[in-house]
Structure 1
Amino acid sequence: MRREPLRARDGLALVVPGPADEAATAGRHDDDPFDVDPDDRPNPPPASLTRATVLDERTGAPLGQVSWHQVGWGRTRACAAWNVGIALLPAARGRGAGALALRLVAEHLFATTDLDRVEAATDVDNRAARGALERAGFRFEGTARGAQLRGGVRRDMALYGLLRDDD
């Protein structure tokens, strides 16, 4: 059987898997100490972005938007998380609206879904966003080097996470 090659070097090849390849490798990786828990729930659908307007209830004025979509850290739904983002209008910044909006979207996701993790990332130099995430209860988890391209320059991103059972 001829397999479609993706890349090969030094006697090793990556190929598009066929049915026989899938059958030969399914469940045979013997990586039990690091394998994810079984989960009968269906895997999340492909990522689709959902948005909500951040609104000043007193005036009815829109202050910005929050967005979220599902991401995965493994093969099962037990490894799925929500990735959130926020964009505030300039006039709404610096008043605590960002931290509150991030907390509200996390509370909404925990109340309406069965996923246990909400995560976010921001430029390592964006002190305002980092402060808002921390005030919303997110914990700094590390740095993704060169994760975003802006203005032709690779930028590092600060990674944050909030778990359902965090204080």
Structure 2
Amino acid sequence: MFIRPLDPVADGPALHVIFGDPECCTWLPEPAFADLDATIAKLRDWTTGFEATSWAICETPDGPALGRIALYNVGRDKDVWEAACMVNPQARGQNYAARGLHFSVQYLFENTTARRVFADIDPDNHASIRTFEKLGFTREGVLRGEWETHIGIRDSVIFGLLRSDPRPDIPNPPQFIAG
């Protein structure tokens, strides 16, 4: 497994498999993107905006993106970041999300002044909850009625990890390809 900086245009077609799929986008604030151009536009927006660290997960160094890992500063405090991930349905069950997130969080703590990373997860997104728990994130609470999404008003379960928190070893970490 490899992780590299995300390229919205080059990775757009592979990631549209995720972001153009209504089922994959169930837990996102907005519905699946209607076409490839919309996916590329959103990826551009995300990677040139507040997501300074947005990576593609790949099986081979030059292979297609199987998923996306994003860590972004939420703006309230430069040392507090949010983590998110999406993996192609065909690539699920191979621990890509956990391995990619583990690498990304470690990279963030080693290369920035970040003191905390959190995840904001829909309470019905059980796979995402399991992934963040596996990485040592602590369930901190529930924000009721936090999001108005395309599927209605939703709660948020907040998971947090401090720089000083213990983190489990994750086997077979990805290799990083600098962009």
Please give the TM-score of this superposition, normalised by the length of structure 2: 0.59
* Structure 1 residue 48 corresponds to structure 2 residue 50: yes
**Structure 1: segments with no counterpart, 5+ residues:** 1-46
**What secondary structure does 1:149 align onto?**
strand
Q: Which amino acid aligns with 2:134?
A: R
* Number of equivalenced pairs: 117
Per the alignment, do residues 100 and 149 of structure 1 end up closer, same or farther by CA in structure 2, a change over 3 Å counting?
A: same
- Work out which of the two has the higher radius of gyration on C-alpha atoms and give 1 or 2: 1
**Structure 2: segments with no counterpart, 5+ residues:** 1-48, 167-179
CA distance in 1, matches of 2:95, 2:61: 15
More strand by share: 1
The answer on whether the counterparts of 1:124 and 1:156 sit within 8 Å (CA) in structure 2 is yes
Per the alignment, do residues 152 and 132 of structure 1 end up closer, same or farther by CA in structure 2, a change over 3 Å counting?
A: closer
Q: CA RMSD in A?
A: 2.0
Please give the TM-score of this superposition, normalised by the length of structure 1: 0.63
What residue in structure 2 maps to residue 62 of structure 1?
65
CA distance in 2, matches of 1:159, 1:86: 15
Q: Alpha-carbon deviation of 1:55?
A: 1.7
**What secondary structure does 1:104 align onto?**
helix
Deviations 1:86-139 (A, max 9, x none): 111111222211111111111010011011111111110111000001111211
What residue in structure 1 maps to residue 138 of structure 2?
139
**What secondary structure does 1:119 align onto?**
strand
Structure with greater contact order relative to length (CA < 8 Å, sep ≥ 6): 2
